[in-house]
Amino acid sequence: MRLFPNTVILASVALGALAAPLAAAEADAPGDYLPDDILVIGKRDGYATTDGSTGTKTQTPLIDVPQTVTVLTEEQLDDQATTQLVDALRYVPGVTLDTGEGHRDQVFIRGQLTTADFYLDGLRDDAEYYRPLYNVARVEVLKGANAMIFGRGGGGGVINRVSKTSNLTDPALGLEGGVDSFGAFSLSADVNQPLADGVAARINAAYEEFGNARDFYEGRFIGVSPTISAALGERTRVSAFYTYDDDSRVTDRGLPSLDGGPLRGYDRTFFGDPVLNRSDSVAHIARLRLDHAFSDSLSVNVIGQFADHNKFYGNVVPASATATTATLNGYTSGTDRQNRIVQGNLVWTAAFGAVKSTLLAGVEASRQDTVAERYNIAFANGATSVTVPLARVLTIPAARQTTIQRASISRLDTVSGYIQQQLDFGPVQLVTGVRYDEFDLATVNTVNGFAADRIDRKWSPRAGIVLKPTEAVSVFAGYATSFLPQSGDQFSVLDATTASLAPEKFENLEAGVKWALTPTLFATAAVFRLDRSNTRAVDPANPALTVLTGKSRVEGFEASLVGRILPDLQASLGYTFLDGELLTTSTAGPAGRRQAQLPRHQASAWARYDLSDRFGLGLGAVYQGEQFASVSNAVTLPDWVRVDAAAFFDLSDRFALQLNVENLLDATYYSSAHGDNNIQPGDPISVRLGVKVKL
């Protein structure tokens, strides 16, 4: 194992060489790259945002980023009473949900399945767990491959959470609580306090107990997230963050399929063991960020993050069903992971005559250590699977953990360097960049002793053009690539095949238009093509060998309208058309087969109308077309519509009530799946009453 020190030294020297002469450069258009304070507690800024900085790592308006980006603001998340990331993503066009084996966030973005393309303030957050929103200011979904900004993975896009930060000047206190008709409840606090001139602290804390319509389902969450920020003079700011998240819940794998669809009549039945089916996850995340402006035109930021994730979960899981019986099996799994990431970015703005330039140069190094184990289970009769009669409450022999199935120790070292040039000619803007990654993965299979070390070195380019007929309209086109080593999202263990095959490749072509109809109303429309290649397949000439011949393609159209339509009406509307198939015959299936969980049509709408300064109403709907539960195309999830509603009562400037109704029309639907026999039913109608206090 090695950290490629020569690459780090060269990249650091390059940053230093750029900084020295550029610090004295004069720019006609000054830029401030210190982070703005996030929302003052209780402030309502609406559903639209103009910030596109995550897409370029520079201060770039969203309208000038040459890719599709969906942003869920804190206000929209609050209006929808959303506390978990997976629930917020239901209203994002182009994103469909996988059940994640009942213990983690797992999504399809433009048809690409991922457990790892999650980020926190622009840094990778790829462990498998459920991400809460109590300390989040907004959620950003950046569509399409773009390894130049994010590195490996991100084939269909990435999901970035932006943390709440302390406000240096304004003290504030917010308290919130809510309870729903399933008996679930949540409590949260948000406190901001200036400590001295230029120093402030903020703490967000939450306690939540889970419940839904499924038998035996319950759980609880504890989260505490303090942050402190200090302005060290006019040009320097330091921010420190820490998060402790403790999540314990029943692992619910849904229900099996029958006759090509979900098993009907058992939507509340728990196909598991209430004792063994538990998921316990504890996360510690600490981050330190330094921002410094050498001048109005030259700035640098350096970020370091350490994350420790410890998780264990057990499963009794449905494997198949007949009209009268269900067959179940299962396993248990534990993972201990530590991530260390250091990232540095230098940004220089200048003007050369009428041409404005923004140059980004950055380096990133990371180390990821993972210990993972998976065990078989056996039922009371000693068998590894059991068939039981169907009933509202299944009679399942007690299950216990037995022999080890697989175990591994892995270390992943990465070093990256990237450079990006943005040129603004007025009516035309160009964005070009390239990233170099060295990816060193060493693993040991502690069951059979197989050890392997693979190194991948990849260049990831990006190019985009933005035409600006007016300041309020941009027409864009972009090309970007990404890659994923064959060891998969989580990089836990290599075998003789994955140790030798080249990474998968993603190529994204996209063109569209963005239009700021008003300063608070933003429209986007785009068409795209995403090609995936180098997927593993059986060699047609020698079925005993694996080769890289697998290819797939997803093409589609996406449109959205977000923001304030009328002074008292704001909305978030989205539609996506997706068409995707395997282009070659591979281990996944024959050419022409439709990809998993890829509905042809997907639409969402949420709107809030304020009838007065004290009273408002919300109404929303989500539509998802029929889709296959897996690439086998053997099981179909029917199309569905869910309608949600809300009412908002501001009793005074300090106290407010909020009523949210989910699935207002009590529709029966199946929201997600994890393969053909882990299908998750949607909840029937539920009502949540919340109370908010601002002091």
- Tell me the pLDDT tens digit for each residue of 501-534: 889 999 999 999 999 999 999 999 999 999 999 8
The mean of the pLDDT values for the chain is: 91
Band of pLDDT at residue 8, cut at 50, 70 and 90: very low
Contact 504, 549 (CB under 8 A): no
Give the tens place of pLDDT for each residue, 46-89. Answer: 999 999 999 999 999 999 999 999 999 999 999 999 999 999 99
Cα 405 from Cα 333, distance rounded (Å): 10
Give the tens place of pLDDT for each residue, 543-555. Answer: 555 556 689 999 9
Query: Which pLDDT score, from 0 to 100, does residue 538 have?
Result: 56
Token pair 């330094």 is found at 290
Cα 382 from Cα 397, distance rounded (Å): 10
Cα 93 from Cα 235, distance rounded (Å): 39
Cα 692 from Cα 675, distance rounded (Å): 40
Tokens coding 426: 């007025």
Q: Mark out the alpha helices in 531-626 (DSSP H runs).
A: none
Cα 458 from Cα 224, distance rounded (Å): 38
Kind and range of the H or E run holding 315: strand 298-321
Cα 616 from Cα 411, distance rounded (Å): 52
- Tell me what the mean pLDDT of segment 314-334 comes to: 96
Q: List C-alpha distances in Å: 255 to 479, 613, 629, 630.
A: 41, 46, 12, 15
DSSP conformation class of 506: E
Cα 143 from Cα 512, distance rounded (Å): 13
Contact 88, 118 (CB under 8 A): no
Instruction: Tell whether the model's pLDDT for residue 540 goes beyond 90.
Output: no
Band of pLDDT at residue 496, cut at 50, 70 and 90: confident
Give the tens place of pLDDT for each residue, 630-686. Answer: 989 999 999 999 999 999 999 999 999 999 999 999 999 999 999 999 999 999 999
Give the tens place of pLDDT for each residue, 193-213. Answer: 999 999 999 999 999 999 999
Cα 364 from Cα 436, distance rounded (Å): 10
DSSP conformation class of 143: E
Give the tens place of pLDDT for each residue, 117-151. Answer: 999 999 999 999 999 999 999 999 999 998 999 99
Model-level pTM?
0.92
- Which residue ranges form the domains of the chain, and what is each CATH number? 5-694 (2.40.170.20)
- How would you class 366 by CB atoms within 10 Å of its CB: exposed for 0-12, middle for 13-18, buried for 19 or more? buried
124: phi then psi, degrees, rounded to nearest 5: -60, 135
Cα 588 from Cα 348, distance rounded (Å): 46
